Structure formats: C-alpha cells, structure tokens
C-alpha cells in the first residue's frame, strides 16, 4: 500500500484532504476554504512538489517566506496568522500519515509563540451608555438596540447573530440553539431585557421577511421578490463601533467586545470557567482561559474576604 503513494503530488493530496474534511469530518465550507488558502500558499512557495519532499528545511524556509509576505496593514504576517498556516499543514500531514502517504511527522511542526490576546470588555457604566445611543422611535434604532442587548446577553459571535431567523429564537422561553464553529450546536440563553427589545422590534415590523435582523437604507435593502436583505456581519461591526463612539467610549468596541463583556460579566459574578466555555461554544478550555486574568482583581477580593489566619 505504501508504494502506491510513494510519489503523490502535493496538489492531489491536498484535494483528497479537502474532500476528507468535507465528507468525513463534516467541516464547514468556510473552514475548508481557509485550509485550501493556507495550503495553497505552500505550493505558491515550493511548487507542486511530492508530499515526501516536504521536509523540515522546506517548512523553515516557507515560514520565513510567509513571515515576510506581509499584509495590507503590516510588513509582516501576524504570528497568529502564521500559525493558521502551520496548523493547516499539520492537519494535512496527519491525514497523509493516516493514508500511509510518506510524509514529515506532523508533531515536528511547531507553532510560533504568540502573546496571550488582550481582552477588551465594557464595564456596567459603559454598557449603559452604549445601550442608550440607538433611537427607539425609529425601526432601525429599535433593531440596533435589540442587537446590542442580544450580543451582550447571549455572547453570540457576530456570524451567529446575523444568521438568525425569526423562527430560530424563542422569546417566551428566552432560549434557542445556535450552530457555531465546527458545526457544533450549543444552547443560548438571553435576558428578559434582551427578549423585550427583540419583541418590541419585531412588533413594529410590517414585513414577513425571514431573517431576524434586516437592512434598512442603501440601494440593496430589498431583493427582487420584495424581501429585505439580511443584515451583514460588517454592518453590525460598523453600527457597534458607531454607537460606542457616540457613547464617548474611547476603547475599540466591536461585536467581539460584547462577547468578551458577556464572558467577563459571568466570571465576575461567580460562574465557573467550564460553564462559560460551554456558553461561548469553545471546543477547548484553553481558549476560554484568556478571561482568567480579567477576573484576577475579583479573585483577590475573594481571597481578602475569606482567607483569614
């Protein structure tokens, strides 16, 4: 069996790997496209070589090439972006190893050291100021208030939020299921306040369009059938940043800041890390651990209050 694959070309093995991700691993199209993009950069650098020719020296030179590739914003790729390429290569090599295709050992691909990301979150005063900015007397303002409340109440990713339809969300029970990264389903719970604002927004709508949040204004508000277009992730990012500016918040605020605020609020009020991990939809607890240093002052207060001689 080994001889059959002795000289398999990288591009052929890559195609097999991407099909494996789709069919056997049930990965999302976006994930597959990302892996394709990262692995294509290896053939951009080294050409269509045989899989067995991918060695430590080639990987070292490829990393150097990637590091100097740069982006529109920077002369060098960020370490995290570089790691995405290496993770894709490692997954590809694991696939080859399983298929008895001679290849470099996957565990020899070491990731670059990265700094732990700085978590930005809003305190109660900042959240109150932010929520007060949209004008509830307009339909767009009602929608925006509902979006802000939902982001903070649920910890949803912006891609998950814009993918919601009206019939996805149960406002009476204040819970629903969302499909997140890796096609994993998780339960989402929302506050009475968030449910109220969503209901107020839906009550004022006169259309029967399926998406929960729709676009108002602009040339492409309605499609050919008269249905409103779904609000995009980019639009939500813009509106969150706009209201933060109006609220006089100087830090950079995005939908992900609201997700950080959701997680931090839970931890500061005594939630355990595993529960927060489940509510955020993190597959690995180490991802959730970026929030632990945020709660350090809270832990200090607990220590001083309860730890006595």
pLDDT of residue 143: 97
Comparison of pLDDT for 289 and 168, the residue scoring more = 168
- Residue from 63, 157, 215, 230 carrying the catalytic annotation: 157
Per-residue pLDDT band for 77 (boundaries 50, 70, 90) equals low
Considering the candidates 14, 27, 230, 259, report the single residue annotated as catalytic.
259
> Is 20 one of the catalytic residues?
no
Average pLDDT, the chain: 86
pLDDT at 112 over 80: no
Indicate which residue of 129, 181, 205, 229 is catalytic: 181
| Domain residue extents for the chain | 3-108, 124-298
Q: Per residue in 240-296, pLDDT tens?
A: 999 999 999 999 999 999 999 999 988 888 888 888 888 888 877 777 877 776 666
Q: What is the pLDDT of residue 114?
A: 65
Residue ranges of the alpha helices (H) in the chain? 10-23, 29-46, 56-69, 79-98, 124-131, 139-154, 158-162, 192-204, 233-246, 255-268, 273-280, 285-288, 296-306
Cα distance between residue 82 and residue 148, in whole Å: 33
Q: Is 157 a catalytic residue?
A: yes
pLDDT(5) > 60: no
CATH 3.40.50.1260 is held by the domain 3-108? no
What pLDDT score does 221 carry?
76
Under 8 Å between Cβ of 152 and 127:
yes
Residue range 9-21, pLDDT digits in tens: 999 999 999 999 9
**Has 251 been annotated as catalytic?**
no
Find the catalytic residue in 90, 145, 215, 282. Answer: 282
Is 63 a residue of the active site? no
Quick: pLDDT tens for 120-162. 899 999 999 999 999 999 999 999 999 999 999 999 999 999 9
Q: Which CATH number is correct for 124-298, 3.20.20.70, 1.10.443.10, 3.40.720.10, 1.10.390.10?
A: 1.10.443.10
């Amino acid at each position: 069996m080994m001889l059959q694959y002795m000289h398999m070309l990288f591009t052929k093995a890559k195609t097999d790997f991407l099909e494996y991700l789709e069919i056997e691993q049930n990965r999302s199209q976006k994930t597959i496209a990302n892996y394709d993009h990262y692995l294509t950069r290896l053939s951009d650098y080294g050409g269509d070589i045989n899989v067995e020719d991918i060695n430590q020296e080639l990987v070292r030179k490829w990393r150097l090439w990637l590091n100097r590739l740069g982006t529109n914003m920077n002369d060098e790729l960020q370490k995290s972006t570089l790691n995405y390429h290496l993770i894709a290569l490692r997954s590809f090599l694991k696939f080859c190893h399983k298929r008895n295709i001679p290849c470099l050992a996957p565990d020899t691909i070491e990731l670059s050291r990265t700094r732990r990301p700085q978590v930005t979150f809003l305190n109660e005063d900042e959240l109150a100021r932010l929520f007060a900015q949209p004008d509830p007397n307009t339909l767009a303002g009602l929608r925006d208030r509902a979006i802000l409340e939902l982001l903070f109440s649920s910890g949803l990713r912006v891609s998950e939020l814009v993918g919601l339809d009206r019939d996805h969300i149960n406002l009476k029970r204040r819970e629903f299921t969302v499909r997140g990264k890796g096609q994993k389903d998780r339960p989402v719970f929302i506050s009475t306040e968030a449910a109220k604002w969503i209901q107020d927004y839906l009550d004022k709508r006169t259309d029967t369009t399926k998406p929960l949040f729709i676009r108002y204004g602009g040339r492409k508000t309605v499609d050919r059938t008269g249905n409103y277009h779904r609000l995009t992730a980019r639009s939500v990012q813009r509106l969150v940043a706009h209201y933060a500016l109006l609220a006089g918040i100087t830090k950079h605020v995005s939908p992900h800041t609201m997700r950080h605020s959701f997680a931090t609020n839970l931890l500061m009020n005594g939630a355990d890390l595993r529960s927060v991990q489940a509510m955020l939809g993190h597959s690995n607890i180490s991802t959730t651990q970026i929030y632990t240093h945020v709660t350090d002052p809270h832990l200090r207060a607990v220590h001083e209050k309860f730890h006595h001689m």
